[in-house]
Amino acid sequence: MFYGMFLVYQYKGGRVMVKDSLAWMKILGLPLLTVSRGANARQTETLASDFKTREHCKLWIWISGTRNKSDYISSGFYYIARDAGVPIVFGSLDYRTKEMIPSRAFDARKMTKEEILAELRKFSDEHDLKGAGYVPGNASTLAFRESKKKA
């Protein structure tokens, strides 16, 4: 999150999405958007609506292993960007070199979820990001969870 704040100040008017358990950090004057991780929170629609109210928006997705290892990445970012009509920019912080690495912007309205995932994998491979995270062994597998269809 610390490095994400640099992006916020570089792109004036930006905000950083954090888990709702970190909402207390707003008292520090940080421009945070808190999101609930509950199953019925409908955050995709809420965040897409929030993005639509802003003049210039990009959705930055950080892919380096900074927390716990996960076998999947969330596909919510794709739906937020697609529904809000904002570009997706993959980002990583290479802790080996202390370099912030952004990708080019991708238009989710013109790409499928699978095409975005393929670009994410390509970006990761081009910059050798598997071992670039704060905890290299925690780099997530770049795959979406199979969706469960409701009966």
pLDDT of residue 145: 75
Residue linked to tokens 């990445």: 73
- Terminal Cα-to-Cα distance of the chain (whole angstroms): 39
Q: How far apart are CA 86 and CA 142, in angstroms?
A: 22
Which neighbouring-strand residues pair with 32?
16
Which neighbouring-strand residues pair with 92?
101
Q: How far apart are CA 96 and CA 43, in angstroms?
A: 33
Q: Please tell me what DSSP assigns to residue 64.
A: S
Q: What is the mean pLDDT of each run of 10 residues along the chain (151 residues)?
A: 56 65 76 68 75 69 62 82 86 80 91 94 87 75 68 42
